[in-house]
Amino acid sequence: MIVENFDAALAPEFKEYVSVLKLSEIDQITVDMKSVEFMDSSGIGALLFLNNQLPPDKRPLKLLNTAPHVVSLLELLRVHRMLKVEPSA
| In the chain, alpha helices (H) | 11-20, 41-53, 68-76
How many residues are given for the chain?
89
Distance CA 29, CA 15 (A): 14
Note the pLDDT tens digit of each residue in 19-73.
Answer: 998 888 888 889 999 999 999 999 999 999 999 999 999 999 999 999 999 999 9
Per-residue confidence (pLDDT) for residue 3, from 0 to 100: 87
Sign of the dihedral through C-alpha 15, 21, 24, 27: negative
What confidence category does residue 16 fall into, taking pLDDT thresholds of 50, 70 and 90?
very high
**Is the distance from CB of 23 to CB of 55 less than 8 angstroms?**
yes
- The reported pTM is 0.91
Domains and CATH numbers, the chain: 5-87 (3.30.750.24)
> For the chain, percent helix, then strand, then coil, each to nearest 5?
45, 20, 35
